Amino acid sequence: MDLEVSSMQMILHSGNSRNDSYEAIKLAKQKKFDEANEKIKSSVEELLLAQKEHASVLRDLAESGVMDANLLLVHAEDHVSVSEMSLDMAKEIIDLYMVVGGVKEF
């Protein structure tokens, strides 16, 4: 396992997820709800890729028995966490725009 490559993959996919979440909010603000939901789906897919990479890293570290602190991995884990929160908040914000836009009832 190359910890640096795996950490960068986590950062890449979680960053893509976060970007898609923010794009979804922008689309919802423009009342483009179908497009916003597609961006949310893309965000979920990217986040799953980051989470799978993270799980793989943790599994490999546990099997190796080596648990040295790695700042890049910690940084990557922070990216994944922030992306999870961004996705959750984007879903809520889109729901609010749908309620305000009369597309959905509260």
Residue at token pair 């603000």? 29
Question: What pLDDT, in 10s, does the model give residues 41-76?
Answer: 999 999 999 999 999 999 999 998 887 779 999 999
CB-CB contact of 36 with 27 (8 Å):
yes
> 104 falls in which pLDDT band (50, 70, 90)?
confident
- The per-residue pLDDT for 28 is 97
Q: Under 8 Å CB-to-CB from 10, ≥6 apart: which residues?
A: 50, 53, 54, 57, 76, 77, 79, 80
Segment 94-99 mean pLDDT: 96
- The per-residue pLDDT for 1 is 67
Question: What pLDDT, in 10s, does the model give residues 11-36?
Answer: 999 999 999 999 999 999 999 999 99
